[in-house]
Amino acid sequence: MKKSLLALILLAQAATFSVAKESAEETKQDVAKHRAMAAAHEAAAKCREAGKGEDICNKELQAACKGIAIGKFCGMKHEH
């Protein structure tokens, strides 16, 4: 029983370390996605400043964020 518990603890630690460690390339890709999302949100803000409707700007935001963010509001939604 003690050996099984020790093995389980060691396995859990190994899994934690392997999941928590991010490669330099993964970090680089993550940074690029954040920058792309930020640029898409800046474009959406400029769209609204230009007087375009919320629906039009949201559609442009969705198109700009396709494949880089979760949800139809590019990973970010505020109250309206």
Mean pLDDT of the chain: 82
Answer yes or no: is pLDDT of 62 > 80.
yes
In the chain, what are the domain boundaries?
Answer: 23-74
Q: For residue 6, count other CB atoms closer than 10 A to its CB.
A: 10
d(CA 41, CA 51): 16
Confidence of residue 3 (pLDDT cuts 50, 70, 90): low
Confidence grade of residue 42 (pLDDT, cut at 50, 70, 90): very high
pTM exceeds 0.85, yes or no: no
What tens digit of pLDDT does each residue of 63-76 get? 999 888 887 778 76
CB 43 within 8 A of CB 61: yes
Phi, psi of 75 (to 5 degrees): 80, 5
CB 47 within 8 A of CB 56: yes
Residues 39, 41, 42, CA angle at the centre, nearest 5°?
Answer: 65
Residue 43 has pLDDT above 70, yes or no: yes
